[in-house]
Amino acid sequence: MPSTKASRLTFDLDGDGGEPIPAILQLPAVAGPAPAVLLLHGFSSRKERMADSIGRALGSRRVSSLAIDLPLHGAREAGVEGLSLRNPLAVVQKWRLAVREAAVALDYLARREDIDASRIGIAGYSLGAYLATIVAEKNRHVRAVALAAGGDLPPQTPFGALVRSIADPRRAVRGLGGRPLLMVNGRYDRTIPPEQARALFDAAAEPKELRWYDGGHWPPQSAIEIVADWLSVQLSEPASQSRLA
């Protein structure tokens, strides 16, 4: 098993003057540029949970990772407790900021000399799965998409029409354009129930795979290992220039 170096760092939106984005970068000790995966955590969580779970599993497979704190989460100054669905404009603003910051994180990975820019994936859990789907649709750095406890929006989403106009998971997953998709979901998940997972999966084009685990919202270690295995295979070979165009 290769050793992995973990570093804490920050970066920001270029020229935007926004708050720093805290991150954990994990780099396995390998020769030459390595593949990498951007890790996006769930609601009320933080980058450490992604780095300590899927990030470690990827490192053992010689895949680098970058886990970031989303707006209002982790080491960011304010907490999600102050964000109310009664103020949809504020929710929209934070969502759009998260999308932009995730894109900046992907650009950061692609610019690093120790990362192979043709072998970058994205993995999201719960809220991070929604975000990963939206970001991957328009970002050609993303070669493979892995979603844990992800799915379509619930039928009774507050301000549903507004939300769909800004972030529609089904529309986004259709826009992956043949890039491979893996979904891992809990058979007994009450937060993202199976019907929401199936709705998103059915909207996606091939190649795609849906794997179920016997559990609730947080995936067990066996499911995390499945995701790490799948990503390491998808990112094992450099992509052709035509595919990246």
Q: Domain holding 96: CATH number?
A: 3.40.50.1820
Q: Which residues contact 17 (CB under 8 A, 6 or more apart)?
A: none
pLDDT of residue 1: 61
Q: What one-letter code names the amino acid at 121?
A: G
HEC string for 16-73 = CCCCCEEEEEEEECCCCCEEEEEEECCCCCCHHHHHHHHHHHHHCCCCEEEEECCCCC
Spatial separation of the C-alpha atoms in residues 109 and 107, rounded to whole Å: 5
Domain, as residue range, for 17: 4-244
Chain mean position to CA 50: 10
pLDDT of residue 17: 57
pLDDT of residue 92: 81
Q: What are the 10-residue block averages of pLDDT along the chain, 245 residues in total?
A: 87 72 95 95 96 98 97 79 58 88 96 97 97 96 98 81 85 95 98 97 98 98 98 87 39
Count of Cβ atoms closer than 10 Å to residue 128 Cβ: 30
Number of domains the chain contains: 1
